[in-house]
Amino acid sequence: MQIKKIVSFVAAAIVAVGSSAAFAGGYGEKSYGTKKDIVDTAVSAGQFETLAAALTAAGLIDTLKGDGPFTVFAPTDEAFAKLPEGTVENLLKPENKDQLIAVLTYHVVPGQVLAADVVKLDAATTVNGADVTIAASDAGVTIDAANVIKTDIKTSNGVIHVIDSVILPNS
């Protein structure tokens, strides 16, 4: 039950990245405690439709609308489009819900981890229990193989960092 709740939160967090006023123009909203949660922020951004659909299919929306705080590494629609053809459609099938939850919760870290903190880490444990690898260099920050393209989009229940690829847990 706890895992489902965490997964739901992760999904909502991912959706929230897309809807934040921070995504309009320069991603400007930077104050923690904004009125929108992770899900609402992501939905309003307009570039996280695939993530929102995945979170809904996984039943994680309510979780990501929870108290948190959560840190969500949110892949854009373009990030999902990079996956092999048919991958997203396959994950969205009801019989693959557990696998979808595992993927989505791999994008969420408990607590609020701002960019200034992320660059000091070499790994972080995700909500699904697996660790992501973090690497910071002059070229930027990567989470596993994904580039962080926007940081510190603060919401009422956490923070979103936008990534350019979907990260997958080891099977």
CATH code at 10? 2.30.180.10
Residue 169 lies in a domain: no
Query: For the residues 23-44, what does the mean pLDDT come to?
Result: 63
Mean per-residue pLDDT, 55-73: 94
pLDDT at res. 171? 58
Helices (H), 82-154: 87-91, 97-105, 115-118
Instruction: Check if the beta carbon of residue 127 is closer than 8 Å to that of residue 110.
Output: yes
- Tell me, yes or no, whether 14 lies in a domain: yes
Residue 149 belongs to some domain of the structure: yes
Given a cut of 50, whether residue 157 has pLDDT beyond it is yes
pLDDT of 9 above 80: no
- Nearest 5°: the CA angle 100, 112, 23 is 75
Query: What percentage of the chain carries pLDDT values higher than 90?
Result: 72
Band (pLDDT 50/70/90 cuts) for residue 43 is confident
Q: How far apart are CA 104 and CA 132, in angstroms?
A: 13
Cis before residue 110, ω within 30 degrees of 0? no
Residue 8 lies in a domain: yes
> What pLDDT, on a 0 to 100 scale, did the predictor assign at position 27?
40
pLDDT exceeds cutoff 70 at 14: no
To the nearest whole number, what is the mean pLDDT of the chain?
Answer: 83
Residue 112 · residue 158 · CB < 8 Å: yes
* Domain annotation covers residue 171: no
Does residue 10 lie in a domain region? yes
Residue 170: inside a domain: no
Which pLDDT value is given to residue 99?
Answer: 95
In a domain, 168, yes or no: no
Taking phi first (over 0 means left), then psi (-120 to 50 degrees means alpha), and beta for anything else, what does residue 80 get? alpha
What is the Cα–Cα distance from 2 to 56, expressed in whole angstroms?
18
Instruction: Output the six-digit token pair for 91.
Output: 């994950």
Instruction: Choose between 24 and 67: higher pLDDT.
Output: 67
Q: Coil, strand or helix: which one is 135?
A: strand
CA distance 131 to 104: 13
- Domain extent, residue 98, equals 2-163
Count how many domains the chain has: 1
| 89 pLDDT above the threshold of 50 | yes
